[in-house]
Structure 1
Amino acid sequence: MVVGRSTLESLRWLYAPQKVAIIFAFRTILASYIALLVALWMELDSPRWAMMAVWIVAQNTSRGEVLSKAYWIIFGNITGVIVSLCIVAAFPQQPFLFELSIAFWVAFCCWVSSCTRNFRALGMVMAGYSCAIILFSSVNDPNETFMMAMSRGSYFILGILAENFTARIFDLNLHHHAHKKLNDDLQTAVEESIKSVTKMLDGNDWAVAQSDRLLSSIINLNNNIEFRERELKGTGHRGDHARAVLASVSGLLVKASGFSILMKQIQNQNLNFHHIIPLTKIYLTELLLALRSGEPLEYTLKALNSLRWECRQRIADSFYKTLGEKQFSNEEFATKLLNDRILYQSLREILAELEVALRELEKSRDITLHDHFKFDTKHAFDFKRAWRNAIRAFVAISVGCIAWEVTGWDRGPLFLAFLCMGCARFCIFENATLACMGWFKGACLAILVGGFFNFLILPTISNFEILFVILIVPLAVGGLAMCVPKYAPIASTYAFFFCYILGFSNDGRVDELSYFNNSLAVLMSGVFALASYRLFFPYRARRLRRQMREKLLQGMHHLAETATLPLAREWISFVSESLVVLMRQLNEDRNTTLIQTYRHGSMAVMLIGIHIIRLRSMVDFDIMSKDINDVLRVVLRRISVFDGRRAKYAPHARTVMIAHRAIAKFRQRELYEKNLAVRIEISAAISSLIIIAYALDKNASFLRIKNRHLLAK
């Protein structure tokens, strides 16, 4: 009985689909029928490609994503057409160079797509396999390459236009909904960050652990802003203001995490800092109420500035504070005053970051604002992954070409075309092996269902009206399954190949021999692609996690020694993206200890990097005297070389020890420094060193890349 209930629950997407899934399936089926009818009316040579193009561009997400996907598919298609004509013109009588150039081009497209983001990657993928489809479809008659290029290119454009036409019917008042969705997402991000900061002020350790989840959602939202901009085209620079909001929210969370560390380390060694915590919490509560009610932020920002000035005033007062009743020694009292200044300054930085986020949020809300504001963040490229994808594609296609040359199979060009398509598409997935398996399962399912219709249904049908009614069932199942993330890779492949297996045309239906040959070509392309991704650089979650940890550690070393410093928001973006990848590799139900280790470790690397940038700025701009800069250079040099291969007395442990010595030295120096500006900078340096030392010490197992014990969990 339990098994039956779980099975029914897993099939809920089929017998009780959501409204969004029903609309998506209906409009995609309608678009595919329109594309097919137009292709049949124009008497094109292979109308099924128009129907297949609809399922390629179909996307059960925002309208902006569909528009972006369609744009880049058209761009990739045109690029593929141009390259196909160049290749066939360059090697008309050299089959070896002809096949080698196709393999090289597809591998190059895989390399570029692995270094790009969003649907730009899909555009390069399209450039690779559209070129291969055109060339292998006309390999028996190179004189027909131009007509084949125009034909295949027309099919994809026709399919995209049909899909966009039907989608427009369901997307009324697109600008208004896009603007509302963007504002709601930004406000949610700001509200959740304020809640996290409030919990951190209470000393809630779990809030620090949870902030990385919010950072992950911010990264995903930041990627989606590009699609919102397409929906809001011609309505100002709200996308840039939205990116600025998210960057400030990320900075707010990171600074709040550092503040919570300072609270832990020196909470019992300060004088009166605890008095401002209730005021800050009251303000944050009132701010949340103001955001939820939609009130203008003018008065809220004034209250925020008052709180910031209160922190600044107390910092200034602490420099001239005198002792009334001396219960402590002068040195102990001065130490506590210094700790107060450190905490006040850290809180003031949090409030300053919050003010930036609120001002940018207000600008992104203003629909009448047409300024020239620009905001962008650089993204790091994973060249190692790009080279692996390129090598896998090149080897798989080359081996496939050799197999075709040896066997002389008449469906060899079709097999190679789909092999190039699969190898190109897999490179845009993080887990290419899983995507490849989904592709293979979807192809097998399409062959079985297509065979059922070819042998039992199509022979009994004499007109397209009845056929379209009958095909609603298999296509609707595919459309509904595409709305389920678990089944989306299988469903998209199934819908694409199902349209191909049926072989729509004006001349008649596909005969049995053609069905088996076409099905075998589809099946073998999946087998070859799956084998290539299993044999060459196979996916292993443990190895990927290790590589991401090495990447984070190398980035931290690079910060401490590089000549040019990145912006703080660029470092936060770099670590956050790596954190998103790491979290996708972990299963919370299997090992929660490992998950917490990776979460805290990634946040530690982010904090260390931010404060390395701060210390480097102090050293590079000669803000303080030479002796202080020399101590900071020693700490930075130690951070740039440690790897933590051994346990207690490793370079990692020595780095922590040197940081603590620097903190003690700076505390003594601050007591006797006469220059007020230098004292302020010394307190800032102490604050950064406290956070760096704590983060290094508490996350040693994550930072010791050579430690196999953690990886074996």
Structure 2
Amino acid sequence: MPPLVKTYLTPDVTAVKFAIKTTLAMMIALYLALWFNLDRPYWALISAAFLQIRPMSGMVIEKGICQISGTLIGALAGILIMALFAQARVPALITLTLWIMLCTYVGSLWRNNYTYGCLMAAVTAMLIVVISNGSTPGGIFDIAVARLSELGLGAICATLVSSLLWPSRVGKHLSAQADTAINEAFENAALRLEASDDIPAMQKALRGSLGPLTVLETDSQAARFEGPEGPGRIRATHVLTRRTLRFLANLQALHQMLHDHADRLDPRSIEIARQVAQGFREAEHVKGVPKARQELQDLRHLVHESDEQGMAPLDRRARLGLRESIGHAMVMLDAREAIASPGTHKLRSASLAWHRDHLAAGINALRSGLVFGSLAMFWILTAWSSAMVAMLLGTLFSSFFASRDNPVAITMMFYKGMLAAIPSAFLFGHVLLSQANGFPMLAMLFGTPLFLGLLGATNPATMGYCLAFTIFNILLTMPGNNMDFSFDSFANRAVAVIIGLTCVVMGFRLLPGLGTRLRRRRLINAISRDIHHLRRRSIRDAETRFSGHMADRILQLAQHDDMLPEDQRHLFILGLTGLDLGTATLRLRDRLDDAPHPLIRRAHRQLLRALASGFEESANGRQPQGVREAGKRLDAAIATHGNVAADRRVLLEGLVERLELALERLGHIMAERPRIKPDREPDTVTS
């Protein structure tokens, strides 16, 4: 059954509740806007609709704060532009274009609701400059106050309804995401420790873990608005992200040893790894954190008791890797418990830094400027009053879709939703609404298409169509105290909507953003640069930046892999190798940065440089040079000038050997696939 048909024939309870809550918030906002006689009450509806897209109470509050803050900043920017160019329309529009580009650029660098705040700053400034063209200074200020009032009213109504009617908490959402991340990570662990050849299954499990981790980091900030336990949940989320990344890096290294170099390992090590894999599967399926923790405790005892004297360095490293993986998994469970019940666990961790591509942000800004500039020129040349609607849509959606994975496909979904909204808005918003008498009848008639649109907005497969259907019903109807029900007014708005969204589609087609190959190359260079920088920053700062950057980059590399033929999917391996190498670098720094003898510190720095250069060479299809020699120099320096136990030196030797093998394997893989051309687009796109 097609998703759209299924959504309306068999709607789930969550979708119905969401549609009722959002429609109610919009109707309350509309009633109050009409009662206060605001100029454009429909902005209160749009504000309430956007805030309810993710209806968790904390997120609604956070998004509302960002919306009002962005609106205030945009209002100040619009007033300033008009103060400078009140009688010069062209310079005012040029300055406004630069402001919109700046807002889009900054918004493209964020991952959370700050992006929405930047969007509102651009839209509000545009509305003030365009609407107040030719107005007096007092009129300009009144327009700014009206926009703030309308958007603020919608935000307040959405927040109240979200908090009072079927409230949904961010804490519960974070707990569900944490469960998914941990379970998928354990599934990935089981596959890798069994030395599985099922690459798609491992990729699926890894994406299934990294995706929720990214959502956790983005959404956890909203938990601070849900009471005093919020900061504890945020810290626990950071701990879970860090430990899961270390866990995945360990698994990548262990899988390579077990799969590619099993002949160098003792059969007992391989058997223990398989027992640990089975233990992770059992921990994944047990109910409750205490039982899962007990499973991991049993695994830790199993691995610890298996240690033997005289093992080869690679065997020692494999056993240590198993113990470290189990230790990371236990901390992950503690973090999961702290997310659900922050009062029971006190965890501390700094926030993560995310990967930001300034070139991609610059292209997004240029596209937004071109779209708005084209529509502004059209407005000047035609002097068409409805062109302001087209300018609004161009500003709104060229910025809103810029940071999405496939903006062209999403824009086309909105385009189809807009076309479906035209007959609906004409029927409900003009033919029937013109006969309505009183607000109850208005709410019943106008709320019907809004409710139907919102009913499908919770399903990612239909969200683009249904959300567009709702928004364009509002824009095409524009409810207010002095509504114009004439056909020519409706036709003008419909044409303006089509022109505005068509310009957005053309903008994304003309400037689609970074191509797959260029983005892949930039991601590789960014990983190499971060690995080089790991030895220059403090350990805490380096770990914070590297962990956050790598989670985001690995997800992007996974998306690029999905666009490649099956036999060319290697980017995941590249990202995981970089993550493994960075984690090993941080571990080496933690143990050797404060070495007592300068020769040890010098040899340590040389090894870190060799590892960073080795990754860059391997990522470009060349074999790494100098890693083994640097490791031997460090071992000799420690033997001569350090007071380090022999087993520690064996572990260090095993670590260097393992990293060299990983880099050699990456070099071979990249050399075999020098040219990558995507053969298809992603199958599904969600907004």
Q: Which TM-score tier does this pair reach, normalised by the shorter chain?
A: 0.7 to 0.9
When structure 1 is superposed on structure 2, of 702-711 and 429-438 the one drifting more is 702-711
Q: How does 1:36-55 map to 2 (within 5 A)?
A: 36-55=30-49
Q: For 2:546 and 2:415, locate their aligned partners in 1 and report how far apart those are by CA, in whole Å.
A: 39
Structure 1 position 487 matched with structure 2 position 456: no
Q: Distance in 1 between matches of 2:216 and 2:614?
A: 33
Of residues 429-438 and 24-33 in structure 1, the stretch that sits farther from structure 2 once superposed is 429-438
Instruction: Assess if the C-alpha contact under 8 Å between 1:74 and 1:156 holds in 2.
Output: yes
Task: Specify the alignment match of 2:432 in structure 1.
Answer: 457
Q: Deviations over 1:213-250 (max 9, x none)?
A: 22233222332222334334455523202320232122
Are residues 1:200 and 2:192 paired? yes
Q: Does 1:261 align with 2:261?
A: no
RMSD: 3.7
| Residue in structure 1 matched with residue 532 of structure 2 by the alignment | 560
Question: CA distance change for structure 1 residues 83 and 12 in 2, over 3 Å: closer, same or farther?
Answer: same
1:603 matched to 2:565: no
Aligned counterpart for 1:30 among listed residues 24, 41, 46: 24
| Equivalent-residue separation in structure 2 for 1:401 and 1:29 (angstroms) | 33
For 1:203, the aligned partner's letter is A
Structure 2: distance between partners of 1:631 and 1:358 = 37
Are residue 21 (structure 1) and residue 15 (structure 2) matched?
yes
Pick the aligned partner of 2:287 from 292, 295, 314.
Answer: 292
Check 1:503–1:705 CA distance in 2 against 1; reply closer, same or farther (3 A cut).
Answer: farther
- 1:677 has 2:644 as partner: yes
Q: Is the 8 Å Cα contact of residues 211 and 253 (structure 1) preserved in structure 2?
A: no
Which secondary structure does the structure 1 equivalent of 2:404 belong to? coil
Q: Is the 8 A contact 1:64 1:229 kept in 2?
A: yes
Residue 185 to residue 232, structure 1, CA distance change in 2 (3 Å): farther
Tell me, which stretches of 5 or more residues in structure 2 are unaligned? Answer: 681-687
Deviation at 1:638, TM superposition (A): 4.2
Residues of 2 paired with 1:255 and 1:405: CA distance?
61
Greater C-alpha radius of gyration:
1
What is the 5 A alignment of 1:310-329? Answer: 310=305, 314=307, 317-318=309-310
C-alpha distance in structure 2 between counterparts of 1:249 and 1:369, whole Å: 21
Superposed displacement of residue 643, structure 1: 7.0
The alignment covers a number of residue pairs equal to: 670
Measured in 1, the distance between the counterparts of 2:340 and 2:246 equals: 21
Task: Tell me the residue number matched to 2:160.
Answer: 165
For 2:106, the aligned partner's letter is V
Pairwise CA distance, 1:21: 0.7
Instruction: Tell me the alpha carbon deviations over residues 179-205 of structure 1, each in whole angstroms, 9 at most, x when there is no partner.
Output: 455445434533443444344333334
Name which of 550, 556, 567 aligns with 2:522.
550
Which residue of 653, 675, 681 corresponds with 2:622? 653
Alignment of 1:373-452 (within 5 A): 373-452=348-427
**Partners of 2:546 and 2:582 within 8 A in 1:** yes
Corresponding position of 1:695: 662
Amino acid in structure 1 at the alignment position of 2:31: L
Q: Note the alpha carbon deviations across 1:123-156, whole angstroms, 9 max, x for none.
A: 1111111111122112132431111111111111
Question: Kindly tell me: are residues 597 and 168 of structure 1, through their superposed partners in 2, closer, same or farther at Cα, counting changes over 3 Å?
Answer: same
Task: Please name the residue that 1:150 is paired with.
Answer: 145
Deviation, structure 1 residue 160: 1.6
Q: Matches of residues 110-259 of structure 1 in structure 2 within 5 Å?
A: 110-143=104-137, 144-172=139-167, 178-206=170-198, 208-213=202-207, 214-234=209-229, 237-259=232-254
User: How big is the shift at 1:257?
Assistant: 2.1
Task: Give the whole-Å Cα distance in 2 for the aligned partners of 1:370 and 1:457.
Answer: 58
1:121–1:553: structure 2 CA closer, same or farther, 3 Å change rule? Answer: same
Instruction: Give the Cα–Cα distance (whole angstroms) in 2 for the partners of residues 633 and 125 of structure 1.
Output: 42
Q: Work out the CA distance in 2 between the residues paired with 1:113 and 1:295.
A: 42
Contact between 2:220 and 2:234, CA under 8 Å: does it hold in 1? Answer: yes
Q: Deviations over 1:500-536 (max 9, x none)?
A: 222323335422222222222222222222222222x
Cα distance, 1:618 vs structure 2: 7.3
> Post-superposition shift, 1:556?
2.0
The reply to whether residue 592 of structure 1 matches residue 584 of structure 2 is: no
Pair 404,294 (structure 1): closer, same or farther in 2 beyond 3 Å: closer
Query: In structure 2, how many angstroms separate the alpha carbons of the residues matched to 1:266 and 1:677?
Result: 28
Mapped to 1, the partners of 2:402 and 2:672 lie a distance apart of 27
Which stretch of the first structure deviates more once superposed, 668-677 or 434-443? 668-677
Q: 1:523 aligns with which of 498, 505, 514?
A: 498
CA contact (8 A) 2:107 2:115 kept: yes
**Residue aligning to 1:80:** 74
Tell me which moved more, 111-120 or 438-447: 438-447
1:218 alignment partner, SS class: helix
Aligned to 2:327: 352
CA–CA distance in 1 between the matches of 2:334 and 2:20? 42
Quick one: distance in 1 between partners of 2:265 and 2:636?
19
Q: What SS does the aligned partner of 1:677 have?
A: coil
Distance 1:212 1:282 in 2: 18
* CA distance, structure 2, for counterparts of residue 306 and residue 421 of structure 1: 57
How far, CA to CA, are the matches of 2:641 and 2:147 in structure 1?
77
The answer as to whether partners of 2:178 and 2:212 remain within 8 angstroms in 1 is: no
Structure-1 residue corresponding to 2:685: none
Provide the TM-score with structure 1 as the length reference: 0.82
Kept in 1, the 8 Å contact 2:317–2:655? The answer is: no
Distance 1:149 1:496 in 2: 22
SS at match of 2:113: helix
1:497 and 2:472 matched:
yes
Aligned match of 1:538: 512
User: Aligned to 2:355, what secondary structure does the other structure show?
Assistant: coil
Report the 3-state secondary structure (helix = DSSP H, G, I; strand = E; otherwise coil) of the residue aligned with 2:552. helix
Alpha carbons of 1:205 and 1:662: their partners in 2 closer, same or farther (altered >3 Å)?
farther
**Deviations, residues 291-348 of structure 1 (Å, cap 9, x unaligned):** 724548997787677567647xx47x43xxxxxxxxxxxxxxxxx5333322233233
